[in-house]
Chain A
Amino acid sequence: MTASLAIDVRGLTKRFGNKLAVDHIDIAVPEGQVWGFLGPNGSGKTTTIRMLCGLLRADDGRGTCLGLDFRTQSEAIKRQVGYMTQRFSFWEDLSIRENLDFVARLYGIRNRRARIDETLDQLGLAQRQRQLAGELSGGWKQRMALAACMLHDPRLLLLDEPTAGVDPKARRDFWEEIHALSERGLTRPSAATALSTS
């Protein structure tokens, strides 16, 4: 496969005050694959992912994410990336459907209803769509979060410890889902990539 690189950065660096959180790391992830990004606690995995999707400003380093300069084109990157935060970060006082609807509107997704229905079916959330996100158990929350970051057909999924605190069965299901998605190229014919810490 002459895959081009979904993520291609070199010398990525981030300091918080005097503390060096990420020290000149290079990442090259080919398109269309599921990649794991491993490291002990506090080694800077979350910080790295946040820099890749423009949530934190990098102190040093250069490169591209989906062919876009991650330091100057983060707004464009945000549109094509699905980022799943480590901690559940959706609105617990909204239902699953309301959360997804909000996300879909922010991304300006066309045929919103149909797209949400499709995603809900795909992840087995259809029957729970009226339930408040705050009432879901850990495993269902992960599913909802995954649904939300897939709604806009991202070319790249950035998953930050997506199965932390989830029971082994739910964890296995989750990863099967991710691999299935990757094989389908997410929903887009072009190759899709998932980078995950776990």
Chain B
Amino acid sequence: MRFSPRRIAAILTKEFLQLRRDKLTLAMIIGVPLLQLCLFGFAINLNPKNLPTAISVGDPGIFARSIVAALENSSYFQIVAQTNSPAAARRMLREGQVIFVVEIPVNFTRDIVRGARPDLLIESDATDPAAGSYALAAFNNLAGTALRDDLVGPLKARAQGPPPFNAVSHLLYNPESNTQYNIVPGLLAIILTMTMVLMTCLALTRERERGTYENLLAMPATPLEIMIGKITPNIVIGAIQSSLILLMARFIFGVPMIGSLGLLTAALTVYIIANLAVGYTFSTVAQNQLQAMQMTLFFILPTVMLSGFAFPFMGMPGWARALGEVLPATHFLRVVRGIMLKGNGAIDIWPDMWPLALFTLAAGTVALLRFRRTLD
């Protein structure tokens, strides 16, 4: 047969006609680049500023005030809490409300005046080493500059020579700044979302696409029975995946497991159910398996980018963080890192467990409500 531009034109026309009717693919062609541009362009910040910081003041002298001002002026730190109890500050660090605690020691003013060069301690939540590294560098520079305006007159001598105090930083929970400590537990959240949402969504759309769904509905089985029967295998798969990742984390990547495995299992169960409910809800909307995959992609993309898995959560602007707070992965990431690296207990993870449970409840309700007993 001779090469025929006319036949090519016919095929082209057919392709465009089909594309025009495939609304979800069209949405993806426009939506995915737009979403990526917005997220990478506006939300992701590899040099995060205004990081929440608690300050524990053991000496409320004039120098302490200058230190607070210098921290805020550096634009890396945002003082969200001031306390005179180091224990309270440490607690905020553990719960993830702040990622830095600056500790101004007792007799700070006196020691500076005497030239004893006291230590100014910053404790940093190093579970995500990337989040705080620029801020820590800025903190170390403070020693030379923070008190310059105060060291005048008789104290002028202190402004020369070595800095008037030592900036000391402690990296908590991950002292060697191993990025694996952050990534591997994070993968638990991401991999589970990917497979749980997709598998559940496919399981139901496959029945619909092949026509077996009509048969299932014609037989005596209730929506709840079908839902439980179709979802349970995926819970088992989720459990196998979780065990695999946790074993690899422990024995290949050497990620510590300081907290309770039982607590982690409980949190994992809630998280897996949350994702299954999302997958089930998608499956009630998606008409075929292709759409199921596309919808899953739309869910995975923000989950990877906004949850704090790939990029520091605290570095994102408020709107992106607000979006991130809706996603189950964001909360689960904090819970996993908290339990594994910080040894958090049930009370510590509660601030992230209730939003996760709420999400699960809401998604589960939508999934059940959207299930139709009929083919309408």
Contacts and interface: CB of A to CB of B under 8 A. Distances in A.
B15 interface: no
Interface stretch (A34-42, A50-58, A174-182, A187-195): A50-58
Interface in B331-376: 373-376
Interface in A72-103: 75, 78-79, 81, 83, 85, 87-92, 103
B220 A57 contact: no
A83 B376 contact: no
A147 B142 CA distance: 83
Contacts of B213: 89
Given A78-B220, A107-B220, A90 B376 contact: no
B214 interface: yes
Given A50-B375, A55-B375, A57-B374, A91 B212 contact: yes
Contacts of A57: 374, 376
B215 A79 contact: no
Contacts of A3: none
Contact of A78 (B210, B211, B219, B375): B219
A62 B5 CA distance: 59
A163 to B, nearest CB: 18
A65 B214 CA distance: 19
Given A50-B375, A55-B374, A56-B374, A89 B220 contact: no
A107 B220 CA distance: 6
A85 B214 contact: yes
A114 interface: no
Contacts of B374: 54-57
Contacts of A56: 374-376
B211 A106 contact: no
B17 interface: no
Nearest to B217: A55
B252 interface: no
B220 A103 contact: no
B221 interface: yes
Interface residues of B, number: 15
A55 B220 CA distance: 11
* Interface-centre pick from A91, A103, A107 (highest chain B CB count, 10 A): A91
Contacts of B214: 55, 85, 89
B219 A106 contact: yes
B226 to A, nearest CB: 10
A91 B217 CA distance: 14
B218 interface: yes
Contacts of B220: 75, 78-79, 106-108
A107 B225 CA distance: 13
Contact of B210 (A53, A83, A92, A108): A92
B221 A106 contact: yes
Nearest to B213: A89
Would you call the interface of chain A mostly helix, strand, loop, or mixed? loop
A90 B215 contact: yes
Contact size class for A? 20 to 34
A50 to B, nearest CB: 7
Nearest to A16: B376
Interface in B197-232: 210-215, 217-221
A106 B218 CA distance: 11
A79 B220 CA distance: 6
Interface string A40-73: 0000000000100111110000000000000000
A53 B217 CA distance: 10
Contacts of A90: 212, 215
B10 to A, nearest CB: 28
A87 B211 contact: yes
A113 to B, nearest CB: 19
B262 to A, nearest CB: 35
* Interface-centre pick from B211, B219, B220 (highest chain A CB count, 10 A): B219
Contact of A89 (B212, B221, B373, B376): B212
Interface string B219-256: 11100000000000000000000000000000000000
A78 B376 contact: no
B215 A85 contact: yes
B211 A85 contact: yes
A15 B34 CA distance: 39
Contacts of A85: 211, 214-215, 218
B211 A89 contact: yes
A75 B374 CA distance: 11
Interface of B: 210-215, 217-221, 373-376
6 contacts: A54-B373, A56-B376, A78-B220, A89-B212, A89-B215, A107-B220
Given A54-B373, A87-B211, A89-B215, 6 more contacts: A55-B374, A57-B374, A81-B218, A85-B218, A88-B211, A89-B214
Q: Nearest 6 CB-CB pairs, A to B? A: A89-B215, A89-B211, A83-B218, A106-B219, A87-B211, A78-B220
